[in-house]
């Protein structure tokens, strides 16, 4: 019954890509939406071996709680990647890296420039000679 429920939900999904943004409607009535102007990050999450019918998902994360999760079937059907390629600096090569990943992993394909007042992630690259982390802005 669980697999049947998943298949019914999957068949009932709709995706709309417009000049304003991306809208995903689920069969049970829920919706996900993100405006292009509020888009902050695009990534692919690989879900190999997690017993889902799809092995990866595009994650379009916006400001606040806005965002859309798009499986490969809908992404291909609506040519999502051609729309994402319009984003300045979009890493289309990262898609191939994600597809060839044998493990569950997240690949960031695009990140918006920080907004004024927005926190910036600082990554720790390695430990220096003085045993303090060397950091660089992402």
pTM over 0.75: no
Running DSSP on this structure, what letter comes out for residue 132?
A: P
Residue 9 three-state SS: helix
Token pair for 69: 């999760």
Q: What is the pLDDT of residue 56?
A: 87
Gap between the Cα atoms of 62 and 41, Å rounded: 7
H or E element, residue 95: helix 93-99
Q: What is the pLDDT of residue 23?
A: 96
What tens digit of pLDDT does each residue of 32-72 get?
A: 999 999 999 999 998 876 655 668 899 999 999 999 999 99
Give the C-alpha distances (Å, rounded to integers) separating 50 from 29, 55, 95: 25, 8, 19
Gap between the Cα atoms of 22 and 16, Å rounded: 6
Q: Assess contact for 21 and 34: CB atoms under 8 A.
A: yes
Assign 4 a pLDDT band (cuts: 50, 70, 90): very low
What tens digit of pLDDT does each residue of 62-119 get?
A: 999 999 999 998 999 999 999 999 999 999 999 998 888 888 889 999 999 886 665 5
Cite the beta strand spans of the chain per DSSP E.
14-17, 21-25, 31-35, 39-46, 56-62, 67-70, 105-111, 122-127, 133-137
Gap between the Cα atoms of 91 and 102, Å rounded: 20
How many other C-beta atoms can be found within 10 angstroms of the C-beta atom of residue 41? Answer: 14
């Amino acid at each position: 019954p669980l697999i049947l429920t998943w298949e019914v939900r999957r068949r009932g999904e709709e995706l709309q890509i417009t000049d304003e943004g991306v809208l995903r409607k689920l069969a049970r009535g829920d919706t996900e939406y993100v405006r292009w102007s509020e888009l902050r990050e695009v990534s692919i999450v690989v879900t190999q071996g997690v017993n889902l019918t799809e092995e990866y998902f595009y994650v379009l994360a916006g400001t606040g709680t806005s965002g859309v999760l798009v499986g490969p079937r809908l992404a291909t059907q609506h040519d999502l990647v051609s729309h994402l390629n319009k984003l300045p600096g979009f890493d289309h090569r990262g898609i191939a890296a994600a597809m060839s990943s044998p493990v569950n992993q997240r690949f960031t394909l695009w990140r918006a420039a920080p907004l004024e007042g927005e926190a910036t992630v600082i990554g720790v690259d390695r430990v220096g000679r003085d045993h303090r982390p060397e950091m660089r802005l992402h």
